[in-house]
Amino acid sequence: MNRMKLHGMAAAFTESLSSTMAETMTIDSFLHMLLAREWDYRANAAIQRLIRGAAFRYEACLEQIDYAIPRGLDRNQMERLASLEFIRQGKNLFITGSSGTGKSFLATAMGYEACKKGIRTYYANAPKLMGMLKVAKVKGTLETELKKIERCALLILDDLFLVNLDAKERPILLDIIEDRHGRKSIIITSQLPTDNWYDAIGDPTVADAIMDRIIHTAHRIELTGESVRKMTAYRGK
């Protein structure tokens, strides 16, 4: 079975040999059990491939979200977003707030949930991504890198506008936005409120083009309050 790459079925069969399970089952139910284990194995393997491909910095899940922390996080809104319907509709999600309020964790948890639902996801620290894509442009591989991003149904841009965009980054970001507009979703986290994004982009023409494509149908989470990291560290003392 392993040579046929039926690893889940092989594991279930091996387990049955060391127990009395097979003796109590009909042939039909035994075959059904083997097929079910193979199905589960392949489904889990597919999820793990999506998670590895997304390149998250750390593991996060929606069940770990602490709603007791006073930061303006609405449980009802999060439960609606957790259905991932906004991704299926090609809409965007903006998560803004000061440093340490949990923006990256929420975005990553959404990304993990997407992978579990079979949705191909691409996570990137936005400043590092912009730097990498500028190098790719010099090397002549920019289109290849943009295609990798475009293939993913969900793009997570973490810490966008941590620094203002420069003249080389603006058209690259516009290309990314244009490729996804109305079809595929972006989750953006930023310390800047959305009202300040226009100025962070810099060039008025490019800013108009980018904002017009991402802002109108986006869902928004605006986190407030103290840094969760600082609060957690203080409580641990």
Q: Per residue in 61-75, pLDDT tens?
A: 999 999 998 899 999
Q: Has residue 1 been placed in a domain? A: no
Whether residue 81 is found in the same domain as residue 197: yes
Whether residue 41 is found in the same domain as residue 81: no
Of the candidates 2, 196, 207, 24, the one whose C-alpha atom is nearest the C-alpha of residue 96 is 196
Q: Has residue 197 been placed in a domain? A: yes
Whether residue 140 is found in the same domain as residue 194: yes
State the DSSP string of 176-206.
Answer: HHHHHTTTSEEEEEESS-GGGHHHHH--HHH
- What token pair was written down for 210? 């980018």
Supply the DSSP symbol for 70.
Answer: S
**What are phi and psi for residue 200, nearest 5 degrees?**
-70, -30
Indicate the number of domains in the chain.
2
Beta bridge partners of 154: 121, 185
Whether residue 103 is found in the same domain as residue 160: yes
Q: Has residue 33 been placed in a domain? A: yes
Q: Has residue 175 been placed in a domain? A: yes
Beta bridge partners of 189: 95
Whether residue 42 is found in the same domain as residue 104: no
Supply the DSSP symbol for 10.
Answer: H
Cβ contact 122:152 at 8 Å: yes
Rounded-to-5 percentages of helix, strand, coil across the chain: 55, 10, 35
Whether residue 22 is found in the same domain as residue 95: no
Whether residue 120 is found in the same domain as residue 218: yes
Whether residue 36 is found in the same domain as residue 97: no
Whether residue 177 is found in the same domain as residue 120: yes
Whether residue 17 is found in the same domain as residue 103: no
Q: How many Cα atoms occupy the beta-carbon half-sphere of 209 within 13 Å? A: 15
User: Which pLDDT score, from 0 to 100, does residue 216 have?
Assistant: 86
User: Which pLDDT score, from 0 to 100, does residue 23 have?
Assistant: 59
pTM to 2 decimal places: 0.82
Helix (H) or strand (E) holding 135: helix 126-139
Q: Has residue 2 been placed in a domain? A: no
Cβ contact 113:61 at 8 Å: yes
Whether residue 70 is found in the same domain as residue 129: yes
For residues 206-223, average pLDDT:
94
Query: Which of the four pLDDT bands, split at 50, 70 and 90, describes residue 87?
Result: very high
Domain assignment of residue 97, given as a range: 62-235
Q: Kindly provide the b/e burial profile for residues 146-172, where b requires at least 16 CB atoms within 10 angstroms of the residue's own CB.
A: beebbebbbbbbbbbbeeebeeebbeb
CATH of the domain at 161: 3.40.50.300
